[in-house]
Amino acid sequence: MGKIRAQRISYLVLLLLSLCLQSVHSQDFSSEIDKYKKELRNHPNNVEAIIQLARALSWSGRLDESLEQYKKALKLQPGNVEAEIGLATVYSWQKKFPESIRIYKKIIEKYPDNVDALVGLGRVYSWQGNHAESIKILKQVIRLDPDNHEALVSLGRVQSWDKKYKESETTYQKLLAKNPKDVEVLRGLANTYKWGERYTKGIEVELKILEIQPKDVDSQLSIGYMYGQLGAIKQSIHWYEKAAKLAPERGDIQAHLGLLYSHTAQVDSAANAFKKAITLQERDIENYIALGRVYSWQNKMEEAEKTLKKAIEINPQSAGAWAGLGQLYYFNGMWDKSIYHYKRSLQIDPGYVESIQGLKRVNLLKAPTFTSRYNHFINTSRDALTKELLTKEYVHVLSNEGMYKFALGKAIELRYQQAQYSRWDKNAALRDYVYNEKMGSVRLDYPLWKDQLLFSGRYDQELFDSRPEFYAFEDHHLFSAGYSLLRYEKGPFLSVVSFSREPDVKILQSLDVDSLLTYGISSSYDFTENLSLIGSFFYQDYQGRRRSRNDWKGVVNYRLPFFKQLELGYESERLIRPNVTIHSATARLTDRFLKDTLLLEVFYRLNSENHSENFGVTNKNYLELFASFPLKDWIIFNTDTTYQFNKGVDPEKFWSFRNYVTFILDWDAIRGKYPQIK
């Protein structure tokens, strides 16, 4: 808080000093300075002329020369109050507060009712951040002179700085009762409302200023800022654009416009605004950093890299510029370069939050992972008429997976899985395991072209140990399976071409499940951030039986713009041989809790299925619950529960429960070396 307070005081001091010296831009005091210099050449000991010269020099911003003249006047006439007040004022403008306070107090000791000295002392205390003492002295002035305009304006300002917003409002309203069009007072009141976060009232007051001064840029900027704080970004942009037209030379306005455009995803407009800001403020590296980030959002890797490197060239000690490059390389999968630049940023500023979080994120993403999963599946089947329980099936699956990621989109995974299937059958009076399965898998992900065309493939080698009365294998107990796919993505478009193979199995000596080859294509398009469409086609070839099956599906998903955690969907699916028509309505609710650490997802699906095999309609209800929670930086616990029950011609009920723990093998995380960001 101390650092923030000091920065705020420093800003206000500079602001008020600039107001005191704004006549440099609006008036020329050179003729007045020449006039008094000429007078002093003829009468070098004219104290009044020396004081007037000192005052003109101070108004021209020539503070050191002004001090010399005030000191000269005091040497000729010690104790001259006008010269002492002038000297104290210039010291305060130079932020030499102790010297200024000493002189003001000296005057007040001699003349306790000197209003000018009291107002000056109150002003210096306020610039120092000693608001309580400043308010006390300014109230003393008002007791001596109830209508002192300067004291009342200063009091209202200091009260607002001290967060006494109601008192500040009362002080300003007292002044406005006498002069409703006093722009200085109106601006002070608008600032009080703004700092007190009463933005609607603040906008009203700034609009009154614009009625008096239609081209007041500061008021337009203030309105734009307050609309932004209210979340009305379009109105905020409107007022900043108006200010930019009146003050095209101000790069700070263009820079703020760039940020606003960024918030509304107007990346092209943001880029143009930051370019203008750079043209107007060539050495302000914050504009280069912001432009570099916008270029990265536009997927302009080379321009982003060049712009951020220019920022580092201007100021090699900019932690933000190094962090910007770290983020750029992170999102482009260049993890080693990302780590290097984040570390360079932290060498400059060890507490730079973006770099701390970015380095943690890229290290955790790059680190190998080990995942252990357990899945428990129970299925019950009942007679459609009597509701009598006919069979009960149990599946236990335990798998362990290790993955190593080379870079973004480049990974290799090894998996070992064991599964046991058992069931109870009323008719056969059996209660025993049916098979044990062991599977080893290897998977490879690799980008093929411009990070837009990507390959993914997995090979499975399976070993079955079964009861012969249930499964009869053709030659041996080893089976090969797997899949491969190509994924193409660019912008809102995504398309996948896939191939998979499942092995030959004969069940119960009578039911053949032939070698199944599946060819598929699926494409999706995001029309907006809320609306997407998916279409897919699968051709399945049962080789042994020489028959095929087609599967067509269309999906529409819509995320509610006013409640983005909820996504609604509709799916239509058509299978040929056997003929099945499926219509689905879905709802997915996703949100985070416990300071965004706990991820919860609830998914509900209602299928209306019409099967040619049973000549009737079955309604299937699916309810899924997924939860994910990081136990540590390097341990994530997940649980996934599915419940289904059918009503209609094909009644069935099952549920499955799966939980798995992922270990991220990042030694810094395991040893707790990442700092906690609050």
Tens of pLDDT, residues 223-258: 999 999 999 999 999 999 999 999 999 999 999 999
Higher pLDDT among residues 675 and 225, named by residue: 225
| Helix/strand/coil for 536 | strand
Cβ-contact 280, 253 below 8 angstroms: no
Cβ-contact 159, 171 below 8 angstroms: yes
Domains and CATH numbers, the chain: 367-670 (2.40.160)
- What does residue 536 show for φ and ψ, rounded to 5 degrees? -145, 155
Tens of pLDDT, residues 43-67: 999 999 999 999 999 888 899 999 9
Other CB atoms within 10 Å distance of the CB of residue 242: 18
d(CA 586, CA 607): 9
- Range of lowest pLDDT (3-12, 172-181, 627-636): 3-12
Residue from 178, 123, 130 nearest 156 by CA: 123
- What does residue 565 show for φ and ψ, rounded to 5 degrees? -70, -20
Kindly state the tokens that stand for 450.
């411009």
State the pTM of this model: 0.69
Tens of pLDDT, residues 579-618: 889 999 999 999 999 988 999 999 999 999 887 665 678 8
d(CA 95, CA 88): 11
Tokens 């609306």 belong to which residue?
531
What confidence tier does 672 reach under pLDDT thresholds 50, 70, 90?
confident
Tens of pLDDT, residues 196-221: 999 999 999 999 999 999 999 999 99
Residue partners of 26: CB distance under 8 A and separation at least 6: none
What confidence tier does 429 reach under pLDDT thresholds 50, 70, 90?
low
Position 514 scores a pLDDT of 57
Question: Average pLDDT for residues 37-48, to the nearest whole number?
Answer: 90
d(CA 286, CA 321): 8
What confidence tier does 510 reach under pLDDT thresholds 50, 70, 90?
very low
Position 604 scores a pLDDT of 97
Other CB atoms within 10 Å distance of the CB of residue 356: 20
What confidence tier does 20 reach under pLDDT thresholds 50, 70, 90?
very low
Predicted confidence (pLDDT) at residue 321 exceeds the cutoff of 90: yes
Tens of pLDDT, residues 530-551: 999 999 999 988 766 556 889 9
> DSSP secondary-structure letter at 617?
E
Question: Average pLDDT for residues 136-144, to the nearest whole number?
Answer: 92
d(CA 374, CA 656): 11
Position 524 scores a pLDDT of 96
Higher pLDDT among residues 385 and 670, named by residue: 670
Higher pLDDT among residues 242 and 380, named by residue: 242
Predicted confidence (pLDDT) at residue 506 exceeds the cutoff of 60: no
Position 230 scores a pLDDT of 94
Tens of pLDDT, residues 68-103: 999 999 999 999 999 999 999 999 999 999 999 999
Q: What is the mean pLDDT of the chain?
A: 87
506's enclosing H/E stretch is strand 505-507
Report how far apart the first and last C-alpha atoms of the chain are (Å, whole number): 15
Question: Average pLDDT for residues 376-397, to the nearest whole number?
Answer: 82
Position 210 scores a pLDDT of 96
Predicted confidence (pLDDT) at residue 17 exceeds the cutoff of 50: no
Cβ-contact 582, 607 below 8 angstroms: yes
Position 13 scores a pLDDT of 41
d(CA 567, CA 608): 20
Residue type for position 135: I
Q: Which strand ranges, in their side-by-side order, compose the sheet holding 505-507?
A: 471-472, 505-507, 511-513
Integer angstrom CA distances of residue 342 from 18, 183, 332, 575, 674: 38, 48, 15, 52, 14
What confidence tier does 260 reach under pLDDT thresholds 50, 70, 90?
very high
d(CA 510, CA 350): 70
